[in-house]
Structure 1
Amino acid sequence: MDDSAELESFRRQWREEVESRAKQNLPEKSLATPSRTVASQSRKFPPTRHEASAWKEEEEEEVAPAHAPMELVPALDGLSLAKQDDEDAFHLRAPLKEPKSALEHFERAVEKEAAGNLGDSLHHYRKAYRLDAAVDKEYRNKHFAGAWKRPPQTTSSDEPTKPAADEKPAIVPTPELIASFSHLPIPPAEPLFEGDPTPPCPIANVPSEVIVEILKCVALTDPAAFGRMALVCKRFAYHFSHEQQIWKRLCQGAKFGFKAMHYSFACDIHGHAEHTLAPVARFTPFPTDMPVQIPSPLSSWSEVFHTFPRIRFTGIYISTVNYTRAGAASAYSNISWNSPIHIVTYYRYLRFYPDGTVIYLLTTVEPADVVPHINKSNVTAARAPSRKQHSRNTSDLGSSVTGPQDPVPPIALDALKRAQWGRWRLSKPASPSGPPEEPEYSIPGKDNSTAAHDPRDLVVETEGVGAPKYVYVLHLGLRSTTVRPTHGSQMVPNPSRNTKLVWKGYWSYDKLTDDWAEFGLKNDRAFVFRRVRGWGMI
């Protein structure tokens, strides 16, 4: 009875809150609409700082102090030999089994809510409670009973009480612990059956110089695989932490490093190179033809690779937008609390390329249906005028992440025809010996000379919708996400850096009239990086 009364009280409070919001708030538009402003400045920078630049994301990680050394603990804690969800989230979508019991409906509702699909989540919640009013208690007992149960603390009068110093062993600092692994051999694998001889381990007899070269080849092919090799044995963990030439080679590389970063636009919005006749040497913070030094706040090349602002090409950045708006009441009913509430969900996708181009997509299609097919060939085929002719031959529709022979589903093809081409650039790092960087946004009526230069700023220009005279300008900032543990609400830092793009501004520029229009970003949230298997691994 107590659970039923508590559930009924929650439902009553929810109805009152929905009714109050429906009376106070006006219906919002599903997408942001620009408000026109006129500025006499050039197209390079918008006229004012967007209000989104003052937002602070709830899960944004604070910047660590410059004197704090980076240790191997976050990097090793975030690695796992199990199959990662982020890597395989958009590989292949297996058909989901339709839930039947109340518990299955409740579990499906939790999954939909975590994915941001609140409409389907509410639908499954209602079905679960109709089948079993106490399904939430059954769900807690199944998934969280282990966290609640604590082993009983029994003390025996016969056993002597141990001193407190013996209960907790001495904690060795991580750098000293990793350094102690330098002379350890590579242990062989355990035999399959007890009593059998130990299987041979040829790599245990390989010299350290050869092992370092093998690890370098693995790191240049896939840095994530290089990180997982640190979990194989203590010897590999030592090389992962101390072989800084591998991390330096990664930083200077063009595949995953900073040689592929653009600090000025390298092409136009449609991907055509701007300097075709006389190519101009691009700026790179860590060139290979001259001596380079580690930036002063950082202490190692591994810290540079993880912390220095860098765009990732092995996946996609996704922004999930959810908001509610009041629906129209029925003409045959005068009851206000029975008015429908619409849950609106849409997604923004950004896929970056090393050549300076970007694909931007705004759609209601879920990530699992469209992300594996977002590439240049599919967007070109979907936007072609004679798209009906292309659909007769599936080989002309490009390829997905699963292979070149897989046809693109119609739902993904219809979404890709609204994709927009664009270009991107990062803010150039400030040089200690050079002149100070100019602020990117001039604020009328304020002292712009004190505007701090942020090397994490990212500027994206895309095509406008409806007319070629418009250009959309996205001002974003690179940040790092935080991870919420399974049990408890304390946020912990994510060892993966540069995995989040926060909004700082969004404008529309009219090239003919030199007018700027500002988009509102009331409901929009930050972009979060999701790795896609097969991207950047070829």
Structure 2
Amino acid sequence: MEDNAELETFRRQWREEVSRRTKPSKPEPAHPKLSRSSAAPSSHFPPTRHEASERKDEEEDGGATSVDHGEIVHGVGHLSLGVSDEDAFHSRVPRSEPKSALEHFERAVEREAEGSLGDSLHHYRKAYRLDAAVDKTYRNKHFASLWKKTAQTPASSASAGSATTTQQPTDEPTILPTPELIASFAHLPIPQAEPVIENTPPPPCPIAKVPSEVLVEILRHVAVIDPAAFCRTALVCKRLAYHFANEQHIWKRLCQGSEFGFKAMHYSFACDIHGIPEYTLGPRYTPFPRSIPVQIPEPLSSWGEVFQMFPRIRFTGIYISTVNYTRPGAASVYQNTSWNSPIHIVTYYRYLRFYPDGTVIYLLSTVEPLEVVPYISQENLKAARAISQKQHHRQGPDAASAATDTVPPVAMGALKQAHRGRWRLAKPAPASDSSEEATQGDIISEYDSLPVKAQSTGEPDPRDLVIETEGVGPKYMYLLHLSLRSVSTHKPTNSNMTPPNPSKNTKLAWKGYWSYNKLTDDWAEFGLKNDRAFVFRRVRGWGMH
């Protein structure tokens, strides 16, 4: 009897404590229930706010960049793709091992930029063992010319100032603004190529005789096929640079199209986590529909700027987050001191590949991008899961095992851990008649800084991205809350230099990461202490229709 009385007393105290702890949470709305598509409703978020949403990224400038007319032409170098960007994840020719101290130091810097801190540390140690002053040699080789230019600039300006006091310049060139300079290219002919052999006729240039109407139509087809190739045409000659900057109907076609524009953006989930489409009776929202007249948002001045700056997911590559952290290793049992204990540098990667149909592939792996990125696709993911199920049930090989002939075992092993999912962007808030400050354009004008008005008024941030993926088991689901950002650029050391135009929509900053238990209706928060933002890298052949 005494035992039963003590047990009842313990139960009563436990119930009182549980009820006391749950009293403050009663007024709050209940956790979101799952629909038949095995996912939480898109309009609800976990009950707690993730600390990652308040964390400021180290690479952000912290201020909004002003939009200038003609700035799109200055940023052509960033829009165009170099060979290294297009071939970043394809097989490379094996490089020879560095021998000298300077070669080891250069390889260490390169590996550190790629995120492989372990390899970079290995090359740094070898470089300093061969030459203790290798860092000075590296600086003299790569930065000596820059130092000479910066040192000569004040001297040249001082000498120019003294010359102006003595005599007035006669032929001073006039500096035109960028829009006027581009407008002066309108009637220039397309120059012919230089002759292959000196004193011989130059090779023919048939495009030089093409009328402007036909030339613009060719550029429109090039833009629809690949916007990056359209951007590279501005580097060919002044005439094509004029058409690149002034043919706004081409940029409007890109913005309204479904190939790379905003018609392919989803502002509500278009499928479930497994990729099965969800059909709705009404038409899906798109910010710039073709059926009605549309206007350029107020802060922007051209459709080219809309295509660059308006929040948009890219399908021509992959978003990669490189995570590095250190942890102490176990000390040797034969040594009492801990000063020489090993320190492990851990590196892993998060991959996100988006598809225009609203699906996404999410992968967390320690395999480097060069070995796994070219093989991240829905077909290979399906084949990897089929092979995993065959091995689990110990069945014989079939047609699904044929994928191992083209996909390396390292990539196939990583794809077995990939998760399918779906994505959507936050629908921009409609413009208010009473308050013009909280319009959609005001949020875009603060594109590189966190929109304070959107937070204070409770309006959705058009840069927000919500991803729901499969969990570690059938009863779990992962929710990723990200935000589109721009890759920040370093300010030039010389004040006379024009700051480069940062690439837009090439970065996904963390705002939260949760796990949802479908059976118990509970949310669990993942810590993002060491995680960094996703950065976009283009892969050749991806997203081309």
TM-score (norm 2): 0.81
Q: Taking every aligned residue pair, what percent have the same amino acid on both sides? A: 67
Alignment of 1:371-386 (within 5 A): 371-384=373-386, 385-386=389-390
Map of 1:290 onto structure 2: 292
Alignment of 1:107-122 (within 5 A): 107-122=106-121
1:46-74 deviations in whole A, cap 9, x for unaligned? 11221111111122255646775453343
Alignment of 1:217-366 (within 5 A): 217-275=221-279, 280-366=282-368
Q: Could you tell me how far 1:279 is from its partner in structure 2?
A: 5.5
Map of 1:105 onto structure 2: 104
> In the superposition, relative to structure 1, how do residues 69 and 456 fare at CA in structure 2: closer, same or farther (>3 Å)?
same
Q: Which amino acid aligns with 1:412?
A: A
Distance in 2 between residues matched to 1:285 and 1:394, nearest whole Å: 41
Map of 2:510 onto structure 1: 503
SS in 2 for 1:149: helix
Q: Could you tell me how far 1:293 is from its partner in structure 2?
A: 1.6
Distance in 1 between residues matched to 2:498 and 2:115, nearest whole Å: 20
> In the superposition, relative to structure 1, how do residues 78 and 337 fare at CA in structure 2: closer, same or farther (>3 Å)?
same
> In the superposition, relative to structure 1, how do residues 154 and 373 fare at CA in structure 2: closer, same or farther (>3 Å)?
closer
Asked whether the equivalents of residues 394 and 407 of structure 1 are also in contact (C-alpha less than 8 Å), the reply is no
Q: Could you tell me how far 1:190 is from its partner in structure 2?
A: 1.4
Map of 2:17 onto structure 1: none
Q: Could you tell me how far 1:374 is from its partner in structure 2?
A: 0.3
Map of 1:534 onto structure 2: 541
Q: Could you tell me how far 1:386 is from its partner in structure 2?
A: 1.6
1:206-262 deviations in whole A, cap 9, x for unaligned? 111000000000000000000000111111011001101000100111110011100
Say which is worse superposed, 482-491 or 499-508, in terms of deviation. 482-491
Say which is worse superposed, 478-487 or 259-268, in terms of deviation. 478-487
Distance in 2 between residues matched to 1:193 and 1:487, nearest whole Å: 42
Say which is worse superposed, 250-259 or 378-387, in terms of deviation. 378-387
> Residue 216 of structure 1: which of 220, 223, 226 is its match?
220
Say which is worse superposed, 225-234 or 98-107, in terms of deviation. 98-107
Distance in 1 between residues matched to 2:282 and 2:380, nearest whole Å: 30
Question: What is the aligned-residue RMSD (CA, Å)?
Answer: 3.2
SS in 2 for 1:265: coil
> Residue 40 of structure 1: which of 24, 27, 30 is its match?
30
Q: Could you tell me how far 1:517 is from its partner in structure 2?
A: 0.7
> In the superposition, relative to structure 1, how do residues 204 and 70 fare at CA in structure 2: closer, same or farther (>3 Å)?
closer
Distance in 1 between residues matched to 2:412 and 2:344, nearest whole Å: 27
Q: Could you tell me how far 1:485 is from its partner in structure 2?
A: 7.8
> In the superposition, relative to structure 1, how do residues 473 and 225 fare at CA in structure 2: closer, same or farther (>3 Å)?
same
Q: Could you tell me how far 1:393 is from its partner in structure 2?
A: 6.2
> In the superposition, relative to structure 1, how do residues 68 and 76 fare at CA in structure 2: closer, same or farther (>3 Å)?
closer
Q: Could you tell me how far 1:357 is from its partner in structure 2?
A: 0.3
1:260-305 deviations in whole A, cap 9, x for unaligned? 1000001110101122xx6642111111122112122222111111
Distance in 1 between residues matched to 2:507 and 2:86, nearest whole Å: 16
1:477-507 deviations in whole A, cap 9, x for unaligned? 0011023489899995544210000000011
> In the superposition, relative to structure 1, how do residues 70 and 201 fare at CA in structure 2: closer, same or farther (>3 Å)?
closer
SS in 1 for 2:483: strand
More helix by share: 2
Distance in 2 between residues matched to 1:117 and 1:39, nearest whole Å: 45
> In the superposition, relative to structure 1, how do residues 327 and 410 fare at CA in structure 2: closer, same or farther (>3 Å)?
same
> Residue 193 of structure 1: which of 197, 219, 225 is its match?
197
Distance in 1 between residues matched to 2:263 and 2:132, nearest whole Å: 58
Q: Could you tell me how far 1:126 is from its partner in structure 2?
A: 1.1
1:524 paired with 2:531, answer yes
Distance in 2 between residues matched to 1:167 and 1:96, nearest whole Å: 52
Instruction: For structure 1, list consecutive stretches of 5 or more residues without a partner in the other structure.
Output: 1-36, 399-405, 438-446
Asked whether the equivalents of residues 263 and 427 of structure 1 are also in contact (C-alpha less than 8 Å), the reply is yes
Distance in 2 between residues matched to 1:420 and 1:114, nearest whole Å: 28
SS in 1 for 2:229: helix
Asked whether the equivalents of residues 70 and 245 of structure 2 are also in contact (C-alpha less than 8 Å), the reply is no
Q: Could you tell me how far 1:128 is from its partner in structure 2?
A: 1.6
Q: Which amino acid aligns with 1:218?
A: V
> In the superposition, relative to structure 1, how do residues 71 and 109 fare at CA in structure 2: closer, same or farther (>3 Å)?
closer
Q: Which amino acid aligns with 1:52?
A: A
Q: Which amino acid aligns with 2:47?
A: P
1:148-205 deviations in whole A, cap 9, x for unaligned? 33587799x9xx9455767974321000000111111111111123322232221111
Say which is worse superposed, 498-507 or 163-172, in terms of deviation. 163-172
Q: Could you tell me how far 1:511 is from its partner in structure 2?
A: 1.4
Q: Could you tell me how far 1:104 is from its partner in structure 2?
A: 1.9
Higher Rg: 2
Asked whether the equivalents of residues 481 and 497 of structure 1 are also in contact (C-alpha less than 8 Å), the reply is yes
> In the superposition, relative to structure 1, how do residues 310 and 79 fare at CA in structure 2: closer, same or farther (>3 Å)?
closer
SS in 1 for 2:420: strand
SS in 2 for 1:482: coil
Q: Could you tell me how far 1:336 is from its partner in structure 2?
A: 1.9
Map of 2:181 onto structure 1: 177
TM-score (norm 1): 0.82
> Residue 369 of structure 2: which of 367, 370, 383 is its match?
367
Map of 2:474 onto structure 1: 468
Q: Could you tell me how far 1:99 is from its partner in structure 2?
A: 1.9
Asked whether the equivalents of residues 481 and 493 of structure 1 are also in contact (C-alpha less than 8 Å), the reply is no
> In the superposition, relative to structure 1, how do residues 522 and 289 fare at CA in structure 2: closer, same or farther (>3 Å)?
same
Distance in 2 between residues matched to 1:358 and 1:167, nearest whole Å: 60
Distance in 2 between residues matched to 1:295 and 1:486, nearest whole Å: 30
SS in 2 for 1:383: helix
Map of 1:143 onto structure 2: 142
> In the superposition, relative to structure 1, how do residues 65 and 373 fare at CA in structure 2: closer, same or farther (>3 Å)?
closer
Asked whether the equivalents of residues 484 and 491 of structure 1 are also in contact (C-alpha less than 8 Å), the reply is no
> In the superposition, relative to structure 1, how do residues 279 and 187 fare at CA in structure 2: closer, same or farther (>3 Å)?
same
1:96 paired with 2:98, answer no
Q: Could you tell me how far 1:306 is from its partner in structure 2?
A: 0.5
Asked whether the equivalents of residues 350 and 360 of structure 1 are also in contact (C-alpha less than 8 Å), the reply is yes
Distance in 1 between residues matched to 2:79 and 2:45, nearest whole Å: 40
Distance in 1 between residues matched to 2:459 and 2:110, nearest whole Å: 41
Say which is worse superposed, 215-224 or 115-124, in terms of deviation. 115-124
